[in-house]
Structure 1
Amino acid sequence: MIFRQLFEPLSSTFTYLLGCEATGQAVLIDPVVNSIDRDLAELQRLGLTLACTLDTHLHADHITGALHLKERTGCRIAAPAMERLPCVDIGVVEGVPLPVGSLAIQALHTPGHTDSHFAYLLGERVFTGDALLIDGCGRTDFQNGSAAELYRSVHGKLFALPDEQLVYPGHDYQGRQVSSIGQEKARNPRLGQGRTLAEFEQIMAGLKLPYPKFIDHALPGNRLCGVCPDDLPEQMQAYCGRMTESPQG
């Protein structure tokens, strides 16, 4: 398998490129609209054809590149079927593998950050989106989030994976790139270290996080698979423009 971890610094989002060496087919997990030129250049450099994009959930902090990538490459759009988005070509459900060439991506429904959040499992790697971050997790106070549901998702599905399973999160804000299930079980201050459900709920209730600054623009755009809103404030134009620099992780 061909694998690349790409980083978009404005929203600190990781995009993952997975390619089948036998067929040259590829998927981009959680592409970001202002980094599609980078993604297309990487696909071309590797000699890969984009078969589909795949989002873990309906993002609130950036706009997906799914629609623009489809327009430019003819790829299909895959996303959680629970969202019932008319623009989606492949509705992802748990228990039904998503084939990309010879690769078979397993979908795990991991609600809590949002009610339709999915993680994706392929070989030694699990792509956890915002459900499980390195030493953290996504917030649970909007988009039908639930601390109790997230706790059950992580402990019942992600922490049930082998300790050596590599964890590739949807974001990191401190320059880290990868963890493991064993490390998160041992070190994660919110969900690991033997935390109980009650302790986790107390931690999440006490975060008192500010209202997401981009959510009112991102959610409508992402329900259309990646349309930048016309009313985007000037200070947020970079979220939809072409990024001149986007370091790779």
Structure 2
Amino acid sequence: MIDFHCHLDLYTGPREVVETCRSKNIYVLSVTTCPKAWYGTYELSKHCPRIRTALGLHPQLAHLRYQELELFDFLLTNTRYIGEIGLDGGKGFKKHWAKQLKVFRHILKKSSLSGGKIMSIHSRLSTKYVLEELTQIEGIPILHWFTGTSNQLKKAIEMGCWFSINPTMLNTKKGYELISKIPKDRILTETDGPFGKIKNKILYPWDVSIAIEKLSIIWKCSPLDTECILKNNLKSILNSNL
């Protein structure tokens, strides 16, 4: 199983979550919300070969943590994964748009100059602007929890974007319809735990099994075949030249 976007450090009892992931042999991309969180999050799972820690600065925290960009630059060579980054046009965050944009542009530029990174990107109510910023950027952009329009999805696919899909998305009509339009070879699974929930129940990395079951329905194949497709997709990203 693959959880390509979760916040291991923000679970209650994160070490237990890490050990369960290890025992279940789950591949996890553990994203961070600010550069200062990278050290502690990396320490949580540094002995787990299937867990990777991404370096991020969440757009909802950009106005509070932009001073950490210098630390971001310092840590950049420690990982090939960047996340969670992006833009957020939601209520309460749009007023900090200028700061969000400055932070996002800085991260994209530095990541691109470093040869390109695998990036897990937040685009809530801001897909149009995220896609504009990704033009001519080196790296692999993975749009986490995509909620844009069908036209924006088409553009993102044409640009070469990937998508990480969680059970919560597949629990909505819009999400289900959007996901059915994404090429099979551009999809990975995620949970966004502990923020991702179904019926107020927090999702854990092993709950990607729910997404696998629903993707198998969309793709009209068995869950085992779905797992094989996802595994090959992961290999494709990991074997990139970044």
TM range (shorter): 0.3 to 0.5
TM-score between the two structures when normalised by the length of structure 2: 0.36
Q: Per residue, is there more strand in 1 or in 2?
A: 1
Q: Per residue, is there more helix in 1 or in 2?
A: 2
